[in-house]
Amino acid sequence: MSFFKSAALLLTAGAVSGCSSLAPMVGWELVRRGSTTMLEYQRIRPTNTVHFGDASVKAVCIEYNRDMPLDELVPALQAELKTQGVVSRVYDAGTAQRDCDHWLRYAGSIGWGVPPFGEQHHAYLSTATLSLHRADGRLLSSSAYGGDSALSRWASTRKKIAPVVKALITGFET
């Protein structure tokens, strides 16, 4: 439900006169949905971007990092690379492929906490650093995510990593 739909529902609920046993449930749902909507609209920016302006990258091999225990990170990376027009494949570290001209390596950390209105601890992406290398190891670009504001920590991994991937490929922190 979008922010505007939530607001319209709130206005409608306020305009309806009379008592209702469902009013507390509607109010709770609006609060819950509103907090989720706020998470979606948080501005997340990459930091420390370095880009050496080489020719555009059309395909990368992602070096899988077993020390980064967040299952959703690699699929988020691949989805955002695809959004940038970059095809990707994932390989275990040390299994270099001769046909990989560009390698993406990543590192990061996770945090644990109870999300707003949640009851159980969940892992979330706390920091991430991405680096793009040529096959010979030369660095082409790097960028990082390091924002853990009270609300942005509960944004999706893909939402957090999207601007970092864009900065890695384009060189612009937008």
Show Cβ contacts of residue 3 under 8 Å, excluding neighbours closer than 6 positions: 34, 37, 41
Same domain assignment for residues 66 and 146: yes
Same domain assignment for residues 78 and 105: yes
Q: What is the pTM of this model?
A: 0.73
Give the residue numbers spanning the domain of 25: 3-40
- pLDDT single digits (tens) 56-79: 899 999 999 999 989 999 999 999
- pLDDT single digits (tens) 121-144: 999 999 999 999 998 889 999 999
Q: How many domains does the chain have?
A: 2
Per DSSP bridges, beta strands 102-113 and 87-92 are: unpaired
Per DSSP bridges, beta strands 59-64 and 87-92 are: parallel
Same domain assignment for residues 33 and 73: no
User: CA 73 to CA 85: how far, in whole Å?
Assistant: 18
90: left (phi over 0), alpha (psi -120 to 50) or beta: beta
